[in-house]
Amino acid sequence: MVSPNLEDLPHLQCILDFQGHIKQVNTAWQQQLGIMVQHLLVTTFTHWVHSEDLAHTQESLTQLSQGKTDRIVFENRVRDIAGKYRWLIWVMTASLTKGFIYAIGLEMPAREQNEVRLHETEQRYQTIINQLLQGLLIYGVDGKITACNPSTEKILGLKAEQLLGRATWNLMTIHEDSSDFPKESHPAAVTSRTGKICIGEVMGIYKHDNTITWLSINSLPLPYTSKLPPFPVVSTLTDISEYKEKRDTLGEKVKLFSAILNIIKTGIAVTDAQGCFVQVNSAYCQMYGYRAEELLGQSFTLFLPPPLQPESVQAHRDFLADNATHSGQWSMQHREGRILNYPVTENKLLIDESKRFKVTVVTQLSEEVEELPQLFDLTNNDSWLRLLLRQLPVTVLSIDRKGRLTFIEGQHIELLLGLPVEKCLGQSIFEVSPRLTPLIPDFKRALGGESFNKVIVYAGVSFKTKYMPLLKANEWVGILMVFHDITEQRILKLRLERSMQELELLASHTSIGLMYLEQQQKIVRVNKECADLLGYTQTELLKLSAERLFRTLDDYIQFQQQAGIHLRKEESYDTLLWLRKKEGTYVYGRIMVKALSQSNRTLWLLEETKEPDHRQSNTTVSLQAAFWSTTSDAILIMDPLLRILQANPASSKLTGYTPEELVNKSLPELNSGQQNSQFYQNVMDSIVQQGQWQGHLWQRHKNNMAYLCELKLQAFDSTTGVASRYLAILSHNHSHNTAFADPLTGLPSKQLFLHKLSKTHALCQRNKKFFAILLIGIDNMSAINIKYGCIIGDQFLYTIGQILKSSVRDSDTVARYGGNMFSVNLDEISKPEDACLVSQVMLFKLTQPFVLQEQSVQASVSIGVVVYPEDGTQVDILLERAKQTLEQVQTQGGGRCGFHSPRF
């Protein structure tokens, strides 16, 4: 084993074995603690840990050594040479194959009276969680998420802003048996309530794209703020979807393999490198008089007298180590003590260099042969080969180069020859029996030196035939012909093909739409009539789930509930409802659902049905669909909790989310943060009292930009006296002249900046003056939003704009260029060096910390500078070079000014 060089890995403090003994130490660590390496190497890791931290430290090591997890994060106090304790955060990774634990440790600042504010805990973890491949979530004592890493966003399919400050993920969760996973049973919730460590909890989550991701979840308490619950919690998420799929598939294959093993009459046993049984089939157990549970885990020497056991074990090891061609022939005993001389073949099964198995195949003799043991001799391969062939649906013939039969055995001798074996041996295959006449062309072809396979039907029996040369000492001595009976398989295949043809014929000629759906409601087969009815192609429908065909999510859920009740009773379910077509219109039709026996699939039959006023209703639906698809305003249909049920195509342009992504989001989730919960409560009160509300509000785009829009909210579907649906219409607010002013900062927009820049260019070109363009990029904007939230992020951008505006003359232009970027036009400067001076002053001001809502925020800023005419004479060229300079500065680490001209 090649160990890593700890000196090259400064944070890899030490390497432990699974008993916690220190095996290797980083020199930097022992110097930090002031303890000699010799002293560390003769102790355990827990020897240096504070007594109050021993329990959770030992628990973490146990989880790693037992293979319950391969990575774990925890904190403890470690003693140095002076007897003082230092707080360290550990990331430990286990290697089960090597038997070691690699411990990465980061020292943290000393704690005062063991009390740590929640945002300080967040800061400690933030330095490492962004680098982990596993998802990592930190929960506060209030049960809400205070920190998450990028891997969590990728695994859950959610953004950080959708998680931070929330106690749940807002995703449907299930157990492995598809039952609901209650929120109160979530590992983080259990750990917070009880302080109990949860390891390897498996959970399935339904993402917004209707896929299921399977997670393995660990959660550990952080009992530092209090010794009593609730505790802060650190929770790790590992995506095991691919592993679970392979495990489930492997499980099905193992079941199938076990079933096959137990059906065949040949005895099969698998033993490991120590000679212990790991797999035995029913025939093998019956041969030796044992039950499978009595053999598994026991040595094969159980079948041998004690004096022979040591020698047989050594022979077994030599065989698996490739030091012997077989493990020896031993007189195996039945449970009752009698000696059994069954034909035995042995093979090696190599998984990898560390996992070798022996597969033993034992052929059981018929009672007739057992009465004549003298006929059987293990050294006579021909004898036991004949016995084996009699158990298999195979007939073997061999002929010499002159066409004379030299070997005949198998179940179909009478069918092929019609004569006893002794009358056929030595005879020419061309003359021995008239029954072989149809096969003579194949015999001649084989004698001509050709090897080939062929399927034939002979006397009503289907054979897969194989002709191959027979060699002896590399000399061609004849032909071997194998006739394998595949009649049953061929009949089954023909039946299957016929059934499929009949099904295809039925599906293609019926006027009813047919769909096959799997358990998760994925469409796996559909006929043309169904595709035409719904306005899709067959291929397009195969990419959809059934939910997409319903008008609303509630319609789909209600349909599933009703259908499920009938299907569980093995009854079909029949109903009438509206279905959504591809172009957004609806078709009214009958759906009958039937479960297919011995399958997890269901069959849906769809047929269009006309209502009495079908023409009028269809026209209304078409007009509604046309308006829904073509209007430029965002239209949302919501439930009484303001949760979005449907969204029209225009909503994507306004919000940045696709209609599918908007479904199940609530209107407050799109809030920029400038409206509090009381705002939405007032809106709800107005709707309840007046049935509508209209006003302006700030929303947040998917790209994190805040925008002002006008909202019209109307209650409808009030047939029961209480509104069950709300219609929301959102449109951009144009009262702030958004084409020329940025609504968040109040600065000129990019369009206005470019307009003013063209005027500056014309004046400077006419008067032969200098002007400069500065592009300012905020390097750490994403980190600020994650750490402090989007509200402070918006205030931060506003403050940056005001600082820039106060740093230049009134004749200069400062604009919001887009996203995290600002632009400055220094109009008619005296000399190019003035641009250098102004940019340095800006950099100094922008990087000073400033307080927003009692939080100290500090920016990392990069600036790209170009000067007219030294760096270009055209506006578009100058802008492109300013952008290139800014990107180059940011690529090199940011935090400074960059100049296109080399003179600066």
| Strands of the 394-400 sheet, one edge to the other | 405-410, 394-400, 475-485, 461-472, 452-458
- Tens digits of residue pLDDT in 606-617: 888 765 444 444
**pLDDT at 368 (0 to 100):** 36
What's the CA gap between 166 and 592, in Å, rounded? 42
Q: For the residues 578-596, what does the mean pLDDT come to?
A: 84
| Burial of residue 13, with CB atoms counted within 10 A of its CB: 0-12 exposed, 13-18 middle, 19 or more buried | buried
- Tens digits of residue pLDDT in 631-640: 667 888 888 7
Q: Which among 50, 61, 71, 56 is positioned nearest to 18, based on CA atoms?
A: 61
> Which of 229-243, 643-657, 719-733, 746-760 is predicted with the least confidence, judged by mean pLDDT?
719-733
**pLDDT at 515 (0 to 100):** 84
Q: For the residues 220-243, what does the mean pLDDT come to?
A: 75
Length of the chain: 904
What's the CA gap between 343 and 345, in Å, rounded? 7
Q: Do domains 1-110 and 632-732 have the same CATH topology?
A: yes
CATH topology of domain 750-899: Alpha-Beta Plaits (3.30.70)
Are the C-beta atoms of residues 210 and 547 closer than 8 Å to each other?
yes
Q: Which two tokens stand for residue 606?
A: 């769809």
Confidence band for 379, pLDDT divided at 50, 70 and 90:
very low
Are the C-beta atoms of residues 378 and 399 closer than 8 Å to each other?
no
- Tens digits of residue pLDDT in 521-569: 788 888 888 888 888 988 888 888 888 888 887 788 888 888 888 888 8
Q: Is the pLDDT of residue 728 over 90?
A: no
**pLDDT at 251 (0 to 100):** 55
Are the C-beta atoms of residues 107 and 28 closer than 8 Å to each other?
no
Amino acid type, 476: W
- What is the CATH number assigned to the segment(s) 1-110? 3.30.450.20
Strands 897-899 and 861-868: parallel
Q: Is the pLDDT of residue 517 over 50?
A: yes
Q: Is the pLDDT of residue 117 over 70?
A: no
Concatenated DSSP letters of 521-573:
-BEEEE-HHHHHHHT--HHHHHTSBGGGGBSSHHHHHHHHHHHHHHHHTT--E
Q: Mean of the per-residue pLDDT values for the chain?
A: 79
Q: How many CB atoms lie within 10 A of CB 324?
A: 14
What's the CA gap between 644 and 655, in Å, rounded? 13
What's the CA gap between 189 and 142, in Å, rounded? 10
**pLDDT at 804 (0 to 100):** 93
Confidence band for 736, pLDDT divided at 50, 70 and 90:
very low
**pLDDT at 351 (0 to 100):** 63
Architecture per CATH, domain 632-732, reads as 2-Layer Sandwich (3.30)
**pLDDT at 597 (0 to 100):** 60
Q: For the residues 831-860, what does the mean pLDDT come to?
A: 88
**pLDDT at 904 (0 to 100):** 59
Confidence band for 388, pLDDT divided at 50, 70 and 90:
low
Architecture per CATH, domain 401-489, reads as 2-Layer Sandwich (3.30)
Q: What is the residue whose two structure tokens read 């003082």?
A: 84
Domain boundaries along the sequence of the chain: 1-110, 114-263, 264-370, 401-489, 510-620, 632-732, 750-899
- What is the CATH number assigned to the segment(s) 264-370? 3.30.450.20
Q: What is the residue whose two structure tokens read 């899709």?
A: 536
Max mean pLDDT range (452-466, 715-729, 869-883): 869-883
Q: Is the pLDDT of residue 116 over 80?
A: no
**pLDDT at 372 (0 to 100):** 31
- Tens digits of residue pLDDT in 420-478: 888 888 899 898 888 888 889 999 998 888 888 888 888 778 888 889 888 776 678 88
User: What is the value of pTM for the model shown?
Assistant: 0.30
- C-alpha distances in angstroms, 859 versus 55, 785, 816? 42, 12, 17
Q: Which among 653, 646, 785, 795 is positioned nearest to 728, based on CA atoms?
A: 646
Secondary structure of residue 743 in the 3-state scheme: coil
Q: For the residues 675-703, what does the mean pLDDT come to?
A: 78
Q: Is the pLDDT of residue 115 over 60?
A: no
**pLDDT at 880 (0 to 100):** 92
Q: How many CB atoms lie within 10 A of CB 361?
A: 16
> Which of 99-113, 164-178, 752-766, 792-806 is predicted with the least confidence, judged by mean pLDDT?
99-113
What does the angle CA 786 – CA 787 – CA 793 come to, to the nearest 5 degrees?
70
Q: Is the pLDDT of residue 688 over 80?
A: no
DSSP E strands, 449-500: 452-458, 461-472, 475-485
Q: For the residues 564-588, what does the mean pLDDT come to?
A: 84
Q: Is the pLDDT of residue 124 over 70?
A: no
- What is the CATH number assigned to the segment(s) 510-620? 3.30.450.20
Q: Is the pLDDT of residue 139 over 80?
A: yes
Secondary structure of residue 145 in the 3-state scheme: strand
- Tens digits of residue pLDDT in 54-103: 888 888 888 888 888 888 888 888 888 888 888 888 888 888 777 889 88
Q: Which among 57, 20, 63 is positioned nearest to 42, based on CA atoms?
A: 20
Confidence band for 497, pLDDT divided at 50, 70 and 90:
low
Percent of residues, the chain, with pLDDT higher than 70? 80
Q: Is the pLDDT of residue 586 over 70?
A: yes
The H or E element spanning position 94 is strand 85-95
Helix residue spans in 768-891 (DSSP H) = 781-788, 790-806, 833-846, 875-891
What's the CA gap between 73 and 147, in Å, rounded? 15
Residue 537's region, left for phi above 0, alpha for psi from -120 to 50, else beta, is beta
- What is the CATH number assigned to the segment(s) 114-263? 3.30.450.20
Q: For the residues 764-777, what does the mean pLDDT come to?
A: 92
**pLDDT at 243 (0 to 100):** 66
Q: Which among 741, 812, 823, 816 is positioned nearest to 776, based on CA atoms?
A: 823
